[in-house]
Chain A
Amino acid sequence: MEGSSLDYVIAFLVGGAICAVGQAVLDLTRISPAHMLVLFVVVGAVLSGFGVYDRLVDFAGAGALVPVSGFGHSIARGSLLEARRLGVIGLFTGAFEFTGLGVATAVFFSALIALVANPRA
């Protein structure tokens, strides 16, 4: 991936397409948003297993990583890379290799913001 403006166009197109599929799933089936997000994270992990999602990330960068399917891929990829390095322990520590920072960030700052801000009326 080069740092060119084409990066942004591809990230926009691929990321947008993944979100559009999510919207189509919501509108054409009767499943809840929570079910759709679970479906996407599992599909991302499975496609990672087949090496498909790695190629999508090489092609689209954040367009593939930022949607929640990329979160599933990041868990699977981290788990696999760390398992190769550390064995069974890595299989589990690796689940948070790429995602742990984000999860801790979400917990820490959500708690912080809940202390100072109140929900809309």
Chain B
Amino acid sequence: MASPGAKKQKADDRAKYQKLASSIVPRPQLARNIAVAFVVGGLICALGQAVMNAFIASGMTGDEATAPTLATMILIGVVLTGLSVYHHIGEFAGAGAAVPITGFANTVAAAAMDFKREGYILGMGAKMFIIAGPVLVYGILAGVTVALIKWLSRG
């Protein structure tokens, strides 16, 4: 039978172990997360490059190809979300799935599907941009401000 002292000793050991473990474990986890984000994010961007090259090959300039490339990647993100695939990529790759524009599309499609339960108008309609909304709001705020400053300073 364990005495109270031995029990306390055991608890102390466990606390010591956890402190030691937490000081060691996060490093390989960090390296793993960053490496996976790099590879998966890179692959999504390489796919984007293939899409972009296809539009450029059809006679578009780089600027003209930008919008259809982004839209194609967004469509891919929405479809993969509908098929419940993007969720798995996100769990595996973190920012590697969230940072590309396919991740933006994923948040819109996932919110649309999730909030359908709360109704088509006030659920799906209102909450589709619950995560992607801030990206649009601050993207437009920053982008228009930057353009205004640059436009005024050069005429």
Interfacial chain A residues near B68, Cβ < 8 Å: 101
Interface size in chain B (residues, C-beta < 8 A): 82
Give the residue name and chain of the A residue nearest to B72 (CB): A105
Identify the B interface with A (CB < 8 A).
26, 29-30, 33-46, 48-53, 56-57, 62-63, 66-71, 73-75, 78-79, 81-84, 87, 94-96, 98-105, 108-114, 116, 124, 128, 131-132, 134-136, 138-140, 142-151
Check: A89 CB closer than 8 A to any chain B CB: no
Whole-angstrom distance between the Cβ of B69 and the nearest chain A Cβ: 6
- Which 9 interchain pairs have the tightest Cβ spacing? A15-B45, A19-B41, A16-B42, A75-B143, A62-B48, A79-B147, A22-B95, A23-B37, A49-B146
Whole-angstrom distance between the Cβ of B12 and the nearest chain A Cβ: 29
Contact status A102-B74, CB under 8 Å: yes
Contact status A119-B113, CB under 8 Å: yes
Secondary structure class of chain B's binding surface, majority of residues: helix
Secondary structure class of chain A's binding surface, majority of residues: helix
Interfacial chain A residues near B84, Cβ < 8 Å: 117, 119-120
Tell whether A38 pairs with B112 under 8 Å between CB atoms, given A75-B143, A106-B78: no
Give the residue name and chain of the B residue nearest to A22 (CB): B95
Q: How far is the CA of A57 from the CA of B112 in the complex (A)?
A: 32
Whole-angstrom distance between the Cβ of A83 and the nearest chain B Cβ: 4
Q: A11-B46, A22-B41, A37-B99 are in contact. List 5 more A-B contacts (CB 8 A).
A: A62-B52, A63-B49, A65-B70, A71-B101, A84-B151
Contact of A18 among B30, B39, B41, B63 (CB under 8 A): B41
Interfacial chain A residues near B53, Cβ < 8 Å: 3, 7
